Homo-oligomer: A and B are copies of this chain.
Amino acid sequence: MPLPIFAALQVTLCICCRLDALSCVIMMLMSWISATRNCKQLFNTIKCMSAVRYTHSHPVKMDLSGIYPPITTPFDESENIDWISLKSNMEKWNTIPFRGYVVQGSNGEYVYMTVKERLELVAGVKGMMAEGKLLIAGSGCESTSATVQMTKDMADAGADAALVITPSFYKSGMTDEAMFAHFTRVADTSAIPIILYSVPSNTGIDLSIDVIVRLSSHPNIIGLKDSGGDISKLGAVVHKTQNNTFQVLAGSASFLYPAYHIGCVGGVCALANVLGQECCDLELLFKLKRYDEAEKLQKKLIIPNLDVTRRFGVPGLKQAMDWLGYIGGASRLPLLPLTQNQQDVLRKDFKKEGFLE
């Protein structure tokens, strides 16, 4: 096809799709190159390089869009943090196009750490991290004052943003009002932006749509990580916070692809510890609108993901890491390592989808 005709067609298409001028030009050029040279690999590489980050209608304080592994913490035989193994994992993860790392999330066994360890881990990862990536630190505690302090300390330790889990012990007291007051206080006093974190399978508390929407207008609350798996809730939150530059992250690789389709900007995915490239591929396929391939990949990830989250938890995730080139190792007690039977199930499920031989 001659370039002028092609270009005219493309312009029309771009107007149709409401792309901005720059993207339009890039697309045209690439399409032409592609059409002319039929060089698929080059095409993709360029496309991926130019895949502009998710653009909000309002300027965002910090662009969260992308994939994050909530990294696990390796321990030695005495249950001490194994910094060498962590470094080894980090070096591998640094080669994957993650947007950043979540340190001391649920999968980091934060509830089994001392305050000192939590801070050391954040500082440690900061030092091991490839440039340009975000460091999100889990800073939630049960009390508001401890969370305020921990969030400050996390900022000092180098965190770019804080992921704050819902307090949950006194369940009947964790009303919308209590949640609103808690997160507001934390956000008011924090030097770094706050990301809300709802994970009902661990806490028994599902942060309500109403309170999320109210909190979304706080200038220092920039997003939500939701691991509940209720895609309607994610959609409702995206919809009701659209004027607030509020960014929603899927809390699991099981529903990452559909979450993108209702407006989530990325995911914090346990599975990314072990299948990080695949999670990033899914993101890319979505951005490239290669939806059939994305759907296919999404489906392959669901069962392995359920295995390393709901079914076998952190010990399952660490076991899979051991098999796939990372250093998982044991969890701190009371979490027990997988039994032989559980290992067999896990291996079978990873094999079935081609992630293990």
Spell out A's residues near B (CB within 8 Å). 1, 9, 12-13, 16-18, 22-23, 26, 29-30, 33, 35, 37, 39, 79, 106, 111-112, 114, 142-146, 167, 169-175, 177-179, 181-182, 185, 201-204, 229-232, 235-236, 238-240, 252, 254-255, 257-259, 261-263, 289, 291-292, 295, 298-300, 302-303, 305-306, 310-315, 332-336
Contact = CB atoms under 8 A, between A and B. Distances in A.
Given A16-B23, A201-B171, A258-B262, A177 B336 contact: yes
A334 B146 CA distance: 11
Q: Which of A1, A201, A255 has the most CB of B within 10 A?
A: A255
Given A145-B333, A332-B145, A302 B112 contact: no
A166 to B, nearest CB: 9
A236 B254 CA distance: 9
Q: How many copies does the complex hold?
A: 4
A255 B12 CA distance: 32
Given A178-B336, A182-B334, A262 B143 contact: no
Nearest to A114: B146
Contacts of A106: 169-170
4 tightest A-B CB contacts, nearest first: A258-B258, A232-B254, A144-B333, A112-B143
Contacts of A292: 17-18
Nearest to A182: B334
Contacts of A26: 12-13, 16
A299 B258 contact: no
A236 B12 CA distance: 37
Contact of A9 (B16, B30, B254): B30
Given A112-B142, A182-B334, A302 B239 contact: yes
A202 B9 contact: no
A170 B202 contact: yes
A173 B334 contact: yes
Given A202-B169, A232-B255, A144 B334 contact: yes
A185 B235 contact: no
B263 A232 contact: no
Contacts of A142: 111-112
A167 B229 CA distance: 24
Contacts of A203: 169
Nearest to A25: B12
Nearest to A13: B26
Contact of A238 (B239, B291, B299): B299
Contacts of A238: 299
Q: With a 10 A CB-CB cut-off, give which of A300, A335, A336 has the most chain B CB atoms.
A: A335
24 contacts: A1-B33, A9-B30, A9-B33, A13-B26, A16-B26, A106-B170, A111-B142, A112-B146, A143-B332, A144-B333, A144-B334, A145-B332, A167-B334, A170-B313, A173-B336, A178-B333, A178-B335, A178-B336, A229-B232, A232-B252, A235-B299, A240-B303, A258-B261, A262-B298
